[in-house]
């Protein structure tokens, strides 16, 4: 199966990623303020970070990854609503 053929994460996986993000929010806010960042869901390692989402996705592509391979979050002290 190629990267582009990977299925979307299951509901359980989405909830696991959300818990991980919430549990590590303060650390992420300190390390990546006002940035989008991509996390490897299997290891919890931050793969890439960038204040510009398009640049983050381009960086992931250069690494041979897609948005299905990682969990992407925006870390901000401000409440924001994103329509993707």
Instruction: Identify whether 47 is part of a domain.
Output: yes
Q: Which two tokens stand for residue 58?
A: 């381009």
The residue with tokens 């590590």 is: 24
Q: How many domains does the chain have?
A: 1
pTM (predicted TM-score) = 0.71
Give the domain extent around 30. Answer: 8-75
> What distance in Å separates the CA atoms of residue 72 and residue 84, rounded to the nearest whole number?
12
| pLDDT tens per residue across all 84 residues of the chain | 454 456 677 888 888 878 888 898 899 899 999 999 999 888 888 999 999 999 999 999 999 999 888 989 888 887 666 565
> Cβ(50)–Cβ(56) under 8 Å?
yes
Q: How far is CA 16 from CA 4, 49, 58, in A?
A: 22, 20, 25
Instruction: Identify whether 23 is part of a domain.
Output: yes
Instruction: Identify whether 33 is part of a domain.
Output: yes
């Amino acid at each position: 199966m190629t990267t582009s053929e990977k299925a979307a994460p299951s509901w359980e996986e989405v909830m696991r990623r959300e818990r991980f993000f919430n549990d590590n929010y303060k650390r992420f806010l300190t390390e990546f303020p006002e940035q989008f960042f991509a996390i490897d869901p299997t290891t919890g390692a931050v793969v890439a970070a960038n204040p510009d989402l398009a640049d983050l996705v381009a960086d992931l592509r250069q690494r041979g990854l897609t948005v299905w391979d990682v969990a992407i979050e925006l870390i901000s002290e401000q409440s924001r609503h994103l329509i993707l």
